[in-house]
Structure 1
Amino acid sequence: MKNIFVKVVLVCSIFFSCSSETENITDNETGEITNVALNRQATGASANDLLSSDSFNKLIVEMAYLEGFEPTTTAINNFKSFIENRINKPEGVTFITKEIPTTGKTEYTLDEVVDLEKEYRIQYNSGATIAVWVLFIDGKSSNDTSSGSILGSAYWNTSFVIYEETIHGLSDGTFEPDRSLLESSVINHEFGHILGLTNLGSDLQSDHEDEEHPKHCNEEDCLMYWAAESSQGIGNMLSGGSVPTLDAQCLADLKANGGK
Structure 2
Amino acid sequence: MKNIFLKSVLICLILFSCSSENENIEMPAEMVDVTTNRQPTGSSANDLLSNTFFKKLVVEIGYIEGFKPSQTAINNFKSFIESRINKSEGIEFITKQIPATGKTTYTINEIDEIEKQHRTQYNLGNKIAVWALFVNGKSSGDTNTKATLGSAYFNTSFVIYQETINGFSDSAFEPNRTILETSVINHEFGHILGLTNLGTELQSDHEDPQNPKHCVEEDCLMFFALETGQGMANMLSGGQVPTLDAQCLADLKANGGK
Query: Any unmatched runs of 5+ in structure 1?
Result: 1-28
Letter of the structure 1 residue corresponding to residue 241 of structure 2: V
For 2:46 and 2:215, the matched residues in 1 are separated by 19
Shift in Å at residue 235 of structure 1? Answer: 2.6
Out of 36, 50, 54, which is 1:56 matched to?
54
Aligned to 1:208: 206
For 1:150 and 1:60, the matched residues in 2 are separated by 26
Out of 239, 242, 246, which is 1:241 matched to?
239
Alignment of 1:16-165 (within 5 A): 30=28, 33-165=31-163
TM-score (norm 2): 0.87
* Total equivalences in the alignment: 231
Structure showing greater relative contact order (alpha-carbon pairs closer than 8 Å, 6 or more residues apart): 1
The range that moved more, 172-181 or 89-98, is: 172-181
Letter of the structure 1 residue corresponding to residue 91 of structure 2: V
Which has a greater percent of helix?
2
Shift in Å at residue 170 of structure 1? Answer: 1.1
Letter of the structure 2 residue corresponding to residue 65 of structure 1: Y
For 1:52 and 1:114, the matched residues in 2 are separated by 27
Shift in Å at residue 61 of structure 1? Answer: 0.1
Letter of the structure 1 residue corresponding to residue 119 of structure 2: R
Out of 175, 187, 190, which is 2:188 matched to?
190
Q: Find the residue that maps to 1:98 and give its secondary structure.
A: strand
Q: Give the fraction of aligned pairs with identical amino acids, expressed as a percent.
A: 68
Aligned to 1:9: none
Q: Find the residue that maps to 2:128 and give its secondary structure.
A: strand
Computing the radius of gyration from Cα coordinates, the structure with the larger value is 2
Aligned to 1:257: 255
TM-score (norm 1): 0.86
Out of 136, 158, 173, which is 1:175 matched to?
173
C-alpha distance after superposition, 1:140-171 (max 9, x if no partner): 00000111110000000000000001111111
Contact 2:146 2:229 in 1 (8 A): no
For 2:221 and 2:29, the matched residues in 1 are separated by 42
Q: Find the residue that maps to 1:114 and give its secondary structure.
A: helix
Contact 2:175 2:233 in 1 (8 A): no
C-alpha distance after superposition, 1:51-93 (max 9, x if no partner): 0011100000000100000001111111000000000000000
Q: Find the residue that maps to 1:188 and give its secondary structure.
A: helix
